[in-house]
Amino acid sequence: MNQLEKARAKIDSIDRELARLYEERMKTLQDVAAYKQAHGLAVVDTSREEAIVQKNRKFITDPAFMDSYERVLRFMISESCDYQRALLAKGKVGYAGIEGAFSHMVAKRLFHDHTLVAYSNFEDVFQALVDKKIEFGVIPFENTNSGLVGEVLDALLKYPVFIEQVWDQKIEQCLLGIEGATLKDIEWVYSKDQALNQSREFIQSLNAQPVAYPNTALAAQYVAMQRDKTKAAIGAKENAALYNLNILASRIEENSENTTRFLVISRERNQEGDRFAMCVTFKNEVGALGKVIEEISRQHLNMCSIQSRPLKGHPFEYFFFIEIEGNVDQRALDAIRSVCDQTKVLGSYTMRKENNE
């Protein structure tokens, strides 16, 4: 064995020991994360992290390696914090709204053994997922009557998340009022804009004024607090018991097959599923859309849907959400990318609904 081979063998031995110690260090963080969770402590402790760096710098005897070792330390501390966040997020599922919102009910059904965490809006759920505060998010994406939820599609493009699975939930809207209220009393109807759209004809039959509210459960809560017979909310029947309201009318949605598609989003990409989704922008040239559709067909793939959405910050430009049946391998994906301007893969996912759990 020559001198180079001996040096490399020594480095290999050191690397093995480094890997063993690194793994031991990361596993010890499980106890740290558990303690922080139990005592309500933040993951990041800047003063302690700086103290660790300064203390450990002193263990380096050769000044030539001190700065590079500090960079290694800071990177390792950053990785440690990320791992703690992931540990604390495990078993937590985020949704937008409050108890009684459809998102809450779907999250409870899909993740009955998880801790559910409420957020004020859809984007906060996405941000919490990216920040590793939750393991999954449950978000409404599309309704058979009112179409896509545009802000969710925007967030899918904006944030580094993937679709884990899709759940189709049958939606039955009810009109909820306080004790003693009748249909003839109602002058104002509060609910999420999508719920108002789904029940437009019924609201018109009451000669009532629709008022958009952040979500259906908040609308029910508001009506309960107002104690006003002229005000009613549209939402799930479960909200009647939650907020001490009466069901004045049931199944008021226009479409008897009213269904909302919910997405389960995560930080990890599935490689296989019933469908594959991606967001794309097209090159600014004649026939750009046709080229993309043609390439999908050339790869023997079946496109289930394509939806357009204005591209924020780019007036009169659009991005497209494309769903493809089955899985898309890397070769086919590269071929599709070659005829697009930009692409964002949302991954493969399973399709589920109430009657095929």
Quick check: 156 and 205 in contact, CB under 8 A? Answer: no
- Helix-, strand-, coil-residue percentages of the chain, each rounded to 5: 45, 25, 30
Q: Which residue has the tokens 């997922």?
A: 129
25 is in an annotated binding site: yes
Q: Is 299 annotated as a binding residue?
A: no
Q: Which two three-digit tokens encode residue 242?
A: 């939650």
Question: How far, in Å, CA of 229 to CA of 352, rounded?
Answer: 40
Contact call for residues 185 and 223 (beta carbons, < 8 A): no
Residue 316: Cβ within 10 Å count? 6
- Secondary structure (DSSP) of 279-294: EEE--SSTTHHHHHHH
Is 49 assigned a ligand-binding role in the annotation? yes
Q: Which two tokens stand for residue 239?
A: 């909200």
Q: How far apart are CA 230 and CA 226, in angstroms?
A: 10
Residue 20 labeled ligand binder: no
Q: Would the annotation count 15 as a binding residue?
A: no
DSSP string computed for 183-226: GGG--EEEE-HHHHHHTHHHHHHTTPEEEE-S-HHHHHHHHHHH
Angstrom CA distances, 215 to 45, 134, 202, 234, stand at 36, 21, 19, 10
- How many CA atoms, within 13 angstroms, populate the side-chain half-sphere of residue 186? 28
Reading the block at residue 148, the tokens are 């896509």
Pick the closest to residue 142 from 356, 331, 323, 339 (CA basis). 323
Contact 91, 33 (CB under 8 A): no
Tell me the C-alpha distance between 118 and 24, whole Å.
35
Angle value at C-alpha 269, between 267 and 271, nearest 5 degrees: 165
Tell me if residue 129 falls in helix, strand or coil: helix
Q: Binding site for substrate: residue ranges?
A: 8, 25, 36, 45, 49, 80, 84
Q: Binding site: residue ranges?
A: 8, 25, 36, 45, 49, 80, 84
